[in-house]
Structure 1
Amino acid sequence: MSLLQVENLSGGYEPTQIFSNVDLTVPEGACVGFFGPNGHGKSTLMKTLSGVIDPWSGSIVFDGERLNAPTERKARRSRNLNYDVLTRRRMDPKRIARAGLIHVPQGSTLFPDMTVAEVLSIAPAAARGTGRVCDPESVFALFPRLKERLKSKARFLSGGERQMLSMACGILAVPKLMILDEPTLGLSPKVRIELSDCVHAIRASGIPIILVEQDVEFLRDLVGTLNVFDHGSISRRLEQSEIPDHETLMAEMFGKRTH
């Protein structure tokens, strides 16, 4: 049974369309990967799935429930007015988080002047009233460094520690499906290995994952299916046994380098 079913989804930032006609299925318990160059729409697609921005057309069904309004986006008549203020949004991010679709976005989106303990205290609110509960100690078992830094402000954490804190917040929101958008961006090889181990542990706990990465080697051992995302659409789907190394995949996408 599919946990997430996306059909013919298109979207972007008014007036520019970023991705179009995306079909995606995430089965229960799966880890699905996305690979593609910068600027081709991967993060915009993830923001659309989690309701941060509204889709233009298509459908998003999560855990048997349609998340977006069935009507298509209406054309805006003026660039001088913010129609999002005047019209009802087609998706509700709070409702989506309550449903259990949790998005850990790209980059550092933490409150810089809050301590680690304060940031972690906010995360369970996403699941409040749903009956889903996560033991904080399980997060510290996964990220022991965070327990050592509970009184530190987020602005003073290293890049790897900030990413660990973001992922810990995602876990404390008790996801039915977690989107991890480039969790290793800008991190050292040593920290990347640590985070790879953490993603393996999250997957082993039974949480389904959509994992967006630009490093094929990071993805190969984690995902069951890899979606190659190119110019705003899924150009190829590869099963784990079919995923080539990074250099081969880049050559297939952009041609061999000339020296």
Structure 2
Amino acid sequence: MLEVEGLRAGYGSVEILRGIDMKVEAGEIVAVLGSNGVGKTTLNMVLSGLVRPRGGTIRFCGRSLAGASPAEIVASGLIQVPEGRRIFPNMGVRENLELGSYGRAKPNRAANLEKVFAIFPRLKERIGQFAGTLSGGEQQMLAIGRGLMAEPKLLILDEPSLGLSPLLVEEMFALINSLNADGLSIMLVEQNVVQSLELAGRAYVIENGEVAIAGSAASVAADPELRRTYLGL
């Protein structure tokens, strides 16, 4: 579904991504792991068309994304839920969700809204509230719901557990598993190594803008370097 080869990108004179190779197959969860500053968010920005690559190729559903605008990438079905949620706090829950279908799936807006409310009943209960008055967990639900409104073929989740309580983190990962069980392909970009590897089928660990470890989630979890660096074992 998503094929990335030799991807290079950066800002000004600073190169952040130094030849990333990765892929996401249809119907799977792929975890992209790494600590702050290793290039995960830059990777997401490039895949979404917000940062232009300096080299390499990106193909989505068999088509090159070279030169594609963010709007064209969204229209193709590659949807990102960004780090920090990026909701519109002074707009209502409904309005935030409806904006998710602005560039894709607009004819199905009403039906998709009901699907989102079935997944997130709490959002339906708070439909009349301003988004900024929601709790952190509810805001994350809103951000994911907004992404689902666009009928994604591949959903990129950037740090969905960030800032959530341990209980809400458990709920969030259970939700991601449920979405995937319904057939949604997911690229999970996280610092939460242990739970991400329990959920994903395959994983990539990024260090200094390069893929340091890659393979099945089980093999990555058992890698001595990962256990030493991230788990302190």
Which residue does the alignment assign to 1:143? 120
Are 1:191 and 2:164 an aligned pair?
Answer: no
Shift of 1:108: 2.9
Aligned residues: 233
From 36, 39, 43, the counterpart of 2:41: 43
Q: Which has the larger radius of gyration?
A: 1
Query: Against the structure 1 CA distance between its residues 91 and 26, is the aligned structure 2 distance closer, same or farther, given a 3 Å change threshold?
Result: same
Alignment check: 8 A CA contact 1:10 1:22 kept: yes
* 1:58 aligns with one of 33, 56, 61: 56
Equivalent in the alignment of 1:253: 229
TM-score of the superposed pair, with normalisation by structure 2? 0.92
Is the alpha carbon distance of 1:238 and 1:168 closer, same or farther for their aligned partners in structure 2, counting shifts above 3 Å?
same
Note the 1:40-119 alignment, pairs <5 A: 40-68=38-66, 90-119=67-96
Q: 1:251 to 1:200 in 2, by over 3 A?
A: closer
Q: Evaluate the alpha carbon distance shift between residue 181 and residue 255 of structure 1 in structure 2; reply closer, same or farther with a 3 A threshold.
A: closer
Q: Report the CA distance between 1:177 and its aligned residue.
A: 0.4
Any gaps of 5 or more consecutive residues in structure 1?
69-89
Instruction: Give the structure 2 partner of residue 230 of structure 1.
Output: 207
Partners of 1:6 and 1:23 within 8 A in 2: yes
Alpha-carbon separation, structure 1, partners of 2:221 and 2:231: 15
Say if 1:255 and 1:180 are closer, same or farther in 2 by CA, change over 3 A: closer
**Distance between the aligned counterparts of 2:112 and 2:37, measured in 1?**
37
- Give the residue type in structure 2 aligned to 1:105: P
Among the aligned pairs, what percent are the same residue? 39
Residue 131 (structure 2) aligned to one of 154, 162, 170: 154
1:13 aligned residue: 11
Residue 255 (structure 1) shift: 9.5
Matched position secondary structure for 1:127: coil
Q: Deviations over 1:88-130 (max 9, x none)?
A: xx33000000000001110031111000011111111231479
C-alpha RMSD of the superposition = 2.3
Could you say if the C-alpha distance between residues 58 and 132 of structure 1 is closer, same or farther in structure 2, counting changes exceeding 3 Å?
farther
* Structure 2: runs of 5 or more not aligned: none
Alignment equivalent of 1:122, drawn from 99, 106, 114: 99
- Residue 141 of structure 1: CA displacement? 1.6
Q: Answer yes or no: is the 8 Å Cα contact 1:134–1:171 preserved in 2.
A: no
**Does structure 1 conserve the Cα–Cα contact (< 8 Å) formed by 2:213 and 2:220?**
no
SS at match of 1:186: coil
Bigger RCO of structures 1 and 2 (CA < 8 A, at least 6 apart):
2
Partner of 1:242: 219
Q: Aligned-pair distance for 1:252?
A: 2.6
Contact 1:30 1:224 in 2 (8 A): yes
> In structure 2, what is the Cα distance between the partners aligned to 1:160 and 1:114?
17
Alpha-carbon displacement from aligned partner over 1:20-78 (angstroms, at most 9, x marks no partner): 1111111111111011111111011011011111111111111111111xxxxxxxxxx
Cα distance change of structure 1 residues 108 and 240 upon mapping to structure 2, 3 Å threshold: closer
Task: Name the CA shift for 1:226/1:35 in 2 (closer, same or farther; >3 Å).
Answer: same
1:216 aligns with 2:193: yes
Question: Which amino acid in the other structure matches residue 151 of structure 1?
Answer: G
Provide the TM-score with structure 1 as the length reference. Answer: 0.83
